[in-house]
Every structure is written in structure tokens, then in C-alpha cells.
Amino acid sequence: MYRKLSALIVLLVLLPVQAAGLTCGGPGTQQAPTAYAAAGGEKLAACFDLKAKNVALQLPDGRIVTLPAAVSASGARYSNGRETFWEHQGTGRYFVGDRLVFEGRPATEAAYDTGVTSRVLTQTSVTGNGRQIVYPAAGQAEVTAMSVDIAPGAETGWHKHPIPVYAYVLAGELAVELEGGRKLPFKTGDAIIEVVDTFHNGRNTGKEKVRLVVFYLGVKGTPNVIKKATP
């Protein structure tokens, strides 16, 4: 039921893609498949394994490599010291050393009639801190859409979400600080895959008002936002 509801949010549709030769997902696994396409048509398939904390990549030449999770200031980063894969705001980048070998956006985009254009803003199977996206399994579905404005220098205050939350930055610059000090920067035109069950604080770092449209995939009777208790 919640997976059907997620399809209503066109801006943030999550469509797993599995490439031939790269096995991903299935009962008992914590794996999430995603595919990326470069501007020149090259394809890269990725299988994020949340249990093993690694990613398996099928590169455009057909070679399959597996990289362990690595420390990242923003996005999800995997590296063995020589090869690196970095997924940030829906763009996947594969490096050998410092050389960028592949850069691509999600391979699947919506198809409409002539006269209507579409653009995938982001497509990922993980939240901003690299955790697998999981939809609530029980309770009555309740989707909430909100507009949120943050004045220059203002903050949201420390809070967390027990359910998936997605947002789009209509205007402004926003820095989201997570517990532990990690910061995720966002600007006009960015899509935000909110962290779940992790306290965070959003701050307007620019000179104009931050304007957001936010979608909560919630459960009736369960709060969408939980504020952090002050000492």
C-alpha cells in the first residue's frame, strides 16, 4: 500500500532497475538495485547491500566490482582505496584514483505524450546518510504535503522523522546537520531524501528565504516530526 502511495510523488519516484549479470535483491536480503545512465548512453548498475555495507557495480564494460562503504561528508561513498563510487543527490560517479570514469543520472524517466517534458530530480534507494529507504509496514497510510519557509539565518531546530520524508528546494540554500556533525548542503532545484530516525537540524545559510515543498509518507495517528528534547 505504501509503495503505491510513493508512486504519486512523481518528483521522487524510486524505480529499482536490475541489470543482467548483477544479481540484487530477493527474500532475506537487504539489497537495493539502482541503475545510472551517462549523457553518452553508457549504463552503470549498482546494488547497495545495507547488511554487508558495500556496493556491487556492473561497469559499462561489463566488469563487476564490489566496494566497501567509506566515510563521506555528503551522499553515499564506497571505496577500496583505488576505485570509488559516490552517489550524491541521485548522481552516480565512478572514479579510478582521481580520474572520473563514469557520471550518470538515474536510467529510468517517466514517459508522457508529446508536449510534456519530464526530468528526474533524484532517484536513489538510500536516504541522505546512506541508509536503505524502508516504507512503514503497518497502520493506515496518510500522506501529508506541506510548504515550509525558513528565513535567512533561521533553523528548524533538532528533530527526526519516524517515516520517509521527501522535499524539493523551491528557493534558497539549506544546510542540514546530522547527529555527529555531518552536514548535507542543498540549493534551489535540489531534491532531498530526508534521513529517517536520525536527529538533524536545517539552517538557512543564504541571504534569501528557503522555500520547500515537503511530502510525508506517514501513518495515521503517528507524528511526522519528533522534536529533540532540550536538557
Spatial CB neighbours of 82, under 8 Å, sequence gap ≥ 6: 96, 97
pLDDT band at 11 (very low <50, low <70, confident <90, very high): very low
Domain ranges within the chain, ordered by starting residue: 17-106, 141-227
Query: For domain 141-227, which architecture applies?
Result: Sandwich (2.60)
Residue 9: pLDDT over 50: no
Top pLDDT among 203 and 89 is at 203
Query: For domain 17-106, which architecture applies?
Result: Beta Barrel (2.40)
Instruction: Give residue-wise pLDDT tens across range 157-174.
Output: 999 999 999 999 999 999
Cell of 182: 555531518
Mean pLDDT of the 112-117 span: 55
Top pLDDT among 197 and 133 is at 197
pTM above 0.75, yes or no: no
